[in-house]
Copies of this chain bind each other. A is one copy, B any other.
């Protein structure tokens, strides 16, 4: 993600949160910007190191709290299989995600879940299971890495 678009995103995020009546604090802003500037999933401690270097974070709990907040607001996602986080620019509303994760370059591409969600609802209702959240992570080889290989 380019510096320009990540800036735009950060500004938009600010507006969205204000409209929701929740607070965009300095720490949360810093965490979101740092996430957005990365084009790869980032671990919480790597994020912490970067923020610490700029005196933007004091200790891990602060970073985890900010990440939890951003995830709950739909502005970040956690990749469970990598223990890492990615910023999300489509944060007008909280949403589940499906990520295509390249095992070679570790890029993570978010793709819409509408069709999959339908299928999951079918599978779940066959078991009387009420779906609340879902996480889908697909590992493989992205187009760029397939070309190189």
Contact = CB atoms under 8 A, between A and B. Distances in A.
Interface of A: 80-81, 98, 100, 102-103, 109, 111-112, 115-116, 119-120, 122-124, 126-143, 146
Nearest to A112: B123
Given A119-B115, A119-B116, A129-B100, A124 B138 contact: yes
Contacts of A80: 80-81, 135, 137
A149 to B, nearest CB: 10
B109 A129 contact: yes
Q: How many copies does the complex hold?
A: 2
Nearest to A145: B130
Contact of A127 (B111, B119, B126, B131): B111
A133 B140 contact: yes
Nearest to A137: B135
A40 to B, nearest CB: 16
Contacts of A126: 111
A138 to B, nearest CB: 4
Contact of A141 (B98, B102, B130): B130
Nearest to A116: B119
Contacts of A109: 127, 129
A140 B124 contact: yes
Contacts of A143: 127-129
